[in-house]
Amino acid sequence: MSDTTDALAAMPPVTGTLLERMGIEVLELSADRTVGAMPVAGNTQPYGLLHGGASAVLAETLASYAAQVHAGAGRAAVGIEINATHHRSARSGVVTGTATALHLGSSLASYEVVVEDGDGRRVCTARVTCMLIDARR
């Protein structure tokens, strides 16, 4: 099994979650780099453009997954800060997000997440910080 397969198997199921509703699929998963995709269709604002909030959801999802891998068993990664700059719109297809670790500490993990359209053009750049805490039982 690959590291991504093992890491995804350790994550809780997405059935009934926002990830399922938005069609987010995690393609690669590690503490250093996590990649995922999301369809534009169904995640637009009324004018037919990818909703900026959808890009933020994709960014926080990927960073949180990566931070959870970094946190390890018995700990939880919880998002405490996100900011996003929207560079261009997307009207169709799939957007892909890549979360790259900026800081992997014992209590905080920060990521830059770049969301691109199907042509590789940057749609959004986000920074997400997660606090790493002991998991609640």
- Catalytic site residues? 60
Give the Cα separation of 28 and 113 in Å (integer): 14
For residue 125, give both structure tokens. 């750049």
For residue 10, give both structure tokens. 């350790």
DSSP state letters, 12-38: PP-TTSHHHHHT-EEEEE-SSEEEEEE
Contact between residue 40 and residue 94 where contact means Cβ atoms under 8 Å apart: yes
Give the Cα separation of 96 and 116 in Å (integer): 5
